[in-house]
C-alpha cells in the first residue's frame, strides 16, 4: 500500500514539474497579448487626443507646431509640445536623470501642464489614460532598457510657512543663487534668464514666482519635489545633494511667500 502511494506521488510530482513551466509559458504569453492589446488601444487614444500636438512619432512635431509665441520684455518665447522620444521628463517624483514613474505620467495626463496649454485629461476613462500612458513609452528605447527609480520621499514638517522658516528660506534662495535665473525678487528676470536653453535648444524662461501657479501644481509638496528632483531638460538643477532636507523645506516656505500663497491664509 505505502509504496504505491509514494509511487503515485512521484508520478504526480513529475507531471507537475513538467506542467509548471508549460503553464507559466502560457500565462506569460497571455500577459504579453494583453499588454500588446493595451498598447494598441493606447495608440487610438493618442491619435485622437495627443497626436495633434506631440506628432505621430511622439517627437513633438504635430500639426499644431508652435502652440503660442509670447513676448516678454523683448524676449520671444515659443511654447512647443514636448518631444517624447528622449523620455526626459520635467514633472517627476523620481531623482534627477531617472525616468518618470507610472503615477508621474498619469498625473501629467490627468492635470495637463498649466501655462503650457497641454490640456487636462482627467475626465476620460481611466482605462484610456492607462493605455495611452503605455503607448507613449513606445516612443523611446529608454523604456526597454531602464526602470524608473524609487520616488523621492516627501514628508512635510509642520513649521513650513512659518515666518521664521520664510526668513531662513530667503537666505538659502540667495546662497544657492536661485536668483541668477529666477531673479533676486523671484520675478523670472535674473542675469542668466535671457540665455537659457532647454535640451532641445529652445529658449526657456525661468519661472516668475509672482505669476502664481507652478506647472506641476502649487502645493508645498510639489514645490519641494521641484527643486529636489530638478526639472530635467530645462537647465534647472536638482538640489537633492547640495541642500539638506530641512533647508529644502525652508526654501519651500520662502517660495510660497514669493508666490503669494502665504498671505491668503
Ligand atoms: C494642445 C497641445 C497638447 C496636447 C493635446 C497634449 N499635449 Fe502633452 N504637452 C504639451 C506641451 C506644450 C508640453 C510641454 C509642457 C512644458 O514642459 O511646459 C507637453 C508635455 C507633455 C509631457 C511631458 C511632461 C514632463 O514631465 O516633462 C507628456 C508626458 C505629455 N505631454 C503627454 C501627453 C499625452 C499622453 C497627451 C494626450 C492624452 C498629450 N500630452 C496631449 C502639449 C500638448
Ligand atoms: C540655471 C537656471 C536655474 C536655476 C539656478 C534655478 N532654476 Fe528654477 N527654473 C529654471 C527654469 C528654466 C524653469 C522653468 C521650467 C519650465 O517652465 O518648464 C524653472 C522653474 C522653477 C519652478 C517652477 C516649476 C513648475 O512646476 O512650474 C520652481 C518652483 C523653481 N524653478 C525653483 C527654483 C529654486 C528654489 C531654485 C534655487 C534653489 C532654482 N529654481 C534654481 C531655471 C533655474
33 and 107 together in one domain:
yes
- Domain ranges, residue 95: 1-151
Ligand 2 atom showing the smallest separation from residue 222 Cα: 26
Is 157 within a domain? no
Query: Which residues does the chain have with pLDDT short of 70?
Result: 1-6, 8, 16, 72-73, 263-265
252 and 126 together in one domain:
no
pLDDT of residue 153: 94
User: 177 CA distance to ligand 2 centroid (A)?
Assistant: 11
pLDDT of residue 212: 72
Is 40 within a domain? yes
94 and 220 together in one domain:
no
Is 156 within a domain? no
pLDDT of residue 256: 94
41 and 86 together in one domain:
yes
The Cα–Cα gap between 142 and 251 comes to: 33
113 and 203 together in one domain:
no
7 and 78 together in one domain:
yes
Q: Relative to the alpha carbon of 190, which ligand is closest?
A: 2
The answer to whether the beta carbons of residues 232 and 89 sit under 8 Å apart is yes
Q: Which long-range contacts (CB under 8 A, 24 or more apart) does 44-48 make?
A: 45/124, 45/128, 45/129, 45/131, 45/132, 45/135, 46/132, 46/135, 46/136
Is 69 within a domain? yes
33 and 129 together in one domain:
yes
User: 194 CA distance to ligand 1 centroid (A)?
Assistant: 24
Q: List the one residue out of 254, 224, 250 whose CA is nearest residue 239.
A: 224
55 and 16 together in one domain:
yes
146 and 167 together in one domain:
no
100 and 225 together in one domain:
no
pLDDT of residue 9: 76
pLDDT of residue 68: 84
Q: Relative to the alpha carbon of 87, which ligand is closest?
A: 1
The protein residue whose alpha carbon is closest to atom 12 in ligand 2 is: 206
18 and 80 together in one domain:
yes
Is 158 within a domain? no
pLDDT of residue 77: 81
pLDDT of residue 127: 97
Is 263 within a domain? no
Q: List the one residue out of 138, 142, 56, 111 whose CA is nearest residue 222.
A: 111
Among 151, 181, 199, residue at a domain's last position = 151
For 36-55, how does the pLDDT look when each residue is reduced to its tens digit (9 = 90+)? 999 999 999 999 999 999 99
Is 265 within a domain? no
8 and 118 together in one domain:
yes
pLDDT of residue 203: 87
The protein residue whose alpha carbon is closest to atom 13 in ligand 2 is: 206
Domains identified in the chain, total number: 2
Q: Relative to the alpha carbon of 115, which ligand is closest?
A: 1
Domain at 145, CATH number: 1.10.760.10
Is 194 within a domain? yes
Amino acid at each position: 500500500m505505502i509504496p504505491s502511494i509514494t509511487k503515485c506521488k512521484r508520478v504526480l510530482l513529475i507531471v507537475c514539474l513538467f506542467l509548471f513551466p508549460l503553464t507559466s509559458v502560457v500565462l506569460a504569453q497571455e500577459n504579453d497579448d494583453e499588454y500588446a492589446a493595451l498598447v494598441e488601444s493606447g495608440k487610438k487614444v493618442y491619435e485622437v487626443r495627443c497626436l495633434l500636438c506631440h506628432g505621430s512619432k511622439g517627437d513633438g512635431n504635430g500639426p499644431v507646431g508652435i502652440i503660442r509665441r509670447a513676448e516678454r520684455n523683448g524676449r520671444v518665447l515659443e511654447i512647443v509640445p514636448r518631444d517624447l522620444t528622449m523620455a526626459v521628463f520635467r514633472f517627476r517624483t523620481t531623482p534627477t536623470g531617472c525616468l518618470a514613474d507610472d503615477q508621474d505620467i498619469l498625473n501629467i495626463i490627468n492635470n495637463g501642464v498649466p501655462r503650457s496649454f497641454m490640456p487636462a485629461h482627467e475626465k476620460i476613462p481611466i482605462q484610456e489614460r492607462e493605455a495611452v500612458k503605455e503607448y507613449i513609452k513606445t516612443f523611446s528605447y529608454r523604456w526597454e532598457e531602464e526602470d524608473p527609480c524609487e520616488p523621492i520621499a516627501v514628508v512635510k514638517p509642520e513649521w513650513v510657512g512659518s515666518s521664521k522658516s520664510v526668513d531662513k528660506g530667503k537666505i538659502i534662495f540667495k546662497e544657492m543663487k536661485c536668483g541668477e535665473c529666477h531673479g533676486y525678487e523671484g520675478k523670472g528676470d535674473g542675469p542668466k534668464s535671457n540665455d537659457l536653453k532647454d535640451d532641445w535648444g529652445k529658449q526657456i524662461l525661468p519661472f516668475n514666482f509672482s505669476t502664481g501657479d507652478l506647472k506641476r501644481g502649487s502645493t508645498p509638496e510639489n514645490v519641494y519635489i521641484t527643486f529636489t528632483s530638478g526639472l530635467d531638460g530645462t537647465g534647472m538643477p536638482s538640489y537633492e545633494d547640495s541642500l539638506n532636507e530641512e533647508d529644502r523645506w525652508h526654501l519651500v516656505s520662502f517660495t510660497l511667500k514669493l508666490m503669494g500663497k502665504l498671505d491668503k491664509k
